[in-house]
Amino acid sequence: MRVVVNSGVRSLCTSAVRTQAPRPPRLVPAAHVAAGTRAPRTPTDVARAYPDHPLMQFFQRSAVRVPRPGTSGKHEDEKETLHVPVALSERDLEHEASSRSWLAPELRRKSSADLHTLWYVLHMERNRLATTWEELRRNSVTGPARMLGESVSYRSHRVRKSMARIKFVLNERRLALIDAQRRAREQAAAASAAAAAPVQTDASAQAPPASSSLFESP
């Protein structure tokens, strides 16, 4: 009679992979399954398949020469230029002092529509810089990046300064509009009050002349 004793110790012939939890199945978008297309695997495939995808706005673009589909790419005429999304570039790891923030006098000369457009441009740039900084943090190289004089934090500060000045200029216009509306209401109220008031006439000018016979001597 054979007795099996379970000592609670993992057998040496059992691998660590077998004892792990089951790996969840890979999820594929339903649109890819319906169309029979495969998801892009590299940044080059993403740039070629979805050049104008909204999520591409969260990344910086880098021009890269890649082989054309169906060619070997050995010759220059067999290559094409693609703007591949990159989370970190060499420009982010060097001190950059060529740009500056927008000044309030410059923003006052722009229309409200231009300020609205500029706000979204700065917001996209802030998102790209946040993506770059998150990539530095994910790779645990924020310390060396600061030692190299990285330009991400400097550019992010200039972007936030420009956005704050846009809000300041728009608040100036808001207060000026409120003041103009208040003055217009006061002028309209004064005009309506003047129109509703009775007309004051001169009693001495309108009174009939008195008879002179009453004051004549006999």
Q: For the segment 103-156, what is each residue's pLDDT rounded down to a tens digit?
A: 999 999 999 999 999 999 999 989 888 888 888 888 787 777 777 667 788 888
Number of domains, the chain: 2
214 lies in some domain:
no
Which is it for the CA torsion 38, 42, 44, 47, positive or negative?
positive
**208 part of a folded domain:** no
Question: For the chain, what percent of residues have pLDDT higher than 90?
Answer: 25
Residue 78 and residue 155 share a domain? no
Closest residue by Cα to residue 49 from 57, 62, 39, 63: 39
What's the chain's average pLDDT? Answer: 79
pLDDT in tens, 79-103: 888 888 777 777 777 777 778 899 9
pLDDT exceeds 60 at position 13: no
Positive or negative, the CA dihedral 101, 103, 108, 110 is negative
Partners of 60 in the β-ladder = 86
For residue 12 the two structure tokens come to: 């040496």
In a domain, 114, yes or no: yes
Do 62 and 114 belong together in one domain?
Answer: no
Helix axis angle, 112-138 relative to 152-196, nearest 10°? Answer: 150
Residue 66 lies in a domain: yes
**Tokens standing for residue 84:** 């591949």
Do 112 and 181 lie in a common domain?
A: yes
Q: Both 99 and 163 in a single domain?
A: yes
Give yes or no: residues 126 and 49 share one domain. Answer: no
Q: Are both 78 and 152 inside the same structural domain?
A: no
Is residue 46 one of the residues assigned to a domain?
yes
Query: 61 in a domain, yes or no?
Result: yes
Query: Residues in the chain, how many?
Result: 218
Do 95 and 53 fall within a single domain?
A: no
Q: Decide if pLDDT at 41 tops 60.
A: yes
- Rounded to an integer, what distance in angstroms lies between the CA atom of residue 123 and that of residue 125? 5
- The residue segments making up the domain with residue 61 are 41-86
In this prediction the pTM is: 0.62
86, containing H or E segment: strand 79-86
119 located within any domain: yes
In a shared domain, residues 133 and 77: no
Domain end call among 86, 103, 123: 86
Rounded-to-integer distance, Cα 119 and Cα 108, Å? 14
Position 139 scores a pLDDT of: 79
Residues 163 and 81 in one domain: no
Same domain, 57 and 150: no
Q: Are residues 174 and 108 in the same domain?
A: yes
Predicted pLDDT of residue 6: 54
**Which segment, 64-78, 151-165, 188-202, is predicted with the most confidence on average?**
151-165
Q: Are 84 and 44 in contact (CB under 8 A)?
A: yes
Of the residues 58, 86, 114, which one is the last residue of a structural domain?
Answer: 86
Mean pLDDT confidence for 62-75: 80
Same domain flag for 182 and 159: yes
Residue 164 lies in a domain: yes
